[in-house]
Amino acid sequence: MQINDPERTRQAAPDLRLDAPEADDFTEHPLSMNGEAPAGKGATAAAPSFSCSASCPLSHVPQKAWLHLFRMPFRKRHPVIFWGLLILLLGGTAAFMVSQATGLGSERIALVRVTGPIMDIDAQLRWIDKLGRMPGVKGVLVRVDSPGGGAAASQELYEALARLGKDKPIAVSMGSTAASGGLMVSMAGKRVFANASTVTGSIGVRMDIPQIRGLLDKLGLGRQTLTTAPYKDAGSMLEPLTADEKAYFQGVLKDMHEQFVDIVAQGRHMDRARAARLATGKIFTGREAVELGLVDELGGQQAAHRWLANVCKVPADRPLLTPPSEDEWWEKSLKTWFGLDADALLGREAPAFLYSF
């Protein structure tokens, strides 16, 4: 607010008495931070003051309010300080974000989580690939709490971790469950930890084929399928398996089973015949798994972290580098409030072959 014409002000408010210096004198000597005029020319001029009758709204405005109205903003009074601080703030924020994205800020241990059914692993694969390109990441802690999942997804996740393990040491911490595909993923670890009551093992392959023919018959519904090859329609939900189809699928399952055994033998540096004897589909507690050679040591995530920190020469109290959250807000709400998995509700996970307990 500026008052450049006292006469116009008096005409607008007849009862207003203006006891301020001329506008030119005021603008030539702006107010200081404490509301006083600076020394020098016009130093004796008082700050603007207004007085009017009780009915005038201006009579209720405090003196300090008038002073603030005529003060220039900080960025104009101290432009060098303002823009300098802004540039430092933006530069520091950008440097922090780059260090977090590249792992250049300090030597860190990164965390990879494998939780729930192993189905959609795109997020984990992206994170693992990113960790491989971070020179500041010296080791990787894999937390597994999964009953397994799709055969191909479990194997792909294991292979990605195994490749990463060639450059950076990996420690695996088994949670409540690390069975079947969860066990396969754990085989990528240089050292594997489990709690005494962890459920693991379940080495084998399962194939589920729902049968709905009886229900459709009751509803008076049906479907006919034409094929160009005898096994093209094998495993249909509308027809039970024939003896040839059972033998056919048993051969496929056996091949996947042998691949699982090979991974266990390789990951645990175990004789293959010994690994094959463990591949009966049975589950084991963490304590039994230590005796059988599937797990190295009993302990939780903190024990695995301490071991890995010692190997990597990274302080154990340094926070783990965690991946960004990629869940949609509604998926996160379902998991947090109701314990529901959106993938299961929407039917997005229905593989034919499962490394699953």
Phi/psi for 303 (5° steps) reads: -65, -40
Please name the residues in contact with 298: beta carbons below 8 A apart, sequence gap of 6 or more: 193, 194, 195, 196, 286, 287, 290
Note down pLDDT in tens along the chain; length 357 residues. Answer: 444 554 544 454 444 444 444 444 444 444 444 444 444 444 444 445 545 556 677 667 777 776 666 677 777 777 888 888 888 888 777 665 555 554 445 799 999 999 999 999 999 999 999 999 999 999 999 999 999 999 999 999 999 999 999 999 999 999 999 999 999 999 999 999 999 999 999 999 999 999 998 998 899 998 888 999 999 999 999 999 999 999 999 999 999 999 999 999 999 999 999 999 999 999 999 999 999 999 999 999 999 999 999 999 999 999 999 987 655 555 556 555 555 555 555 444 444 566 775
Residue positions annotated with a catalytic role: 180, 232
Give the integer Cα–Cα distance in Å for 163 and 176.
26
pLDDT of residue 87: 87
Per the CB < 8 A criterion, the answer to whether 52 and 60 are in contact is no
pLDDT of residue 80: 83
CA atoms within 13 A on the CB side of 46: 7
- Whole-model pTM over 0.85: no
Give the integer Cα–Cα distance in Å for 73 and 19.
25
Nearest CA-CA partner of 33 in 2, 75, 68: 68
Helical (H) or strand (E) element with 319? none
Please name the residues in contact with 232: beta carbons below 8 A apart, sequence gap of 6 or more: none
- Do the bridges between strand 353-356 and strand 108-115 make them parallel or antiparallel, or are there none, so unpaired? unpaired
Q: Tokens at residue 301, please?
A: 């995530």
pLDDT of residue 332: 59
Sign of CA dihedral 100, 130, 184, 246: positive
Phi/psi for 8 (5° steps) reads: -65, -35
Nearest CA-CA partner of 36 in 48, 24, 22: 48
pLDDT of residue 329: 55
CA angle 306, 312, 316 (to 5 degrees): 35
pLDDT of residue 38: 45
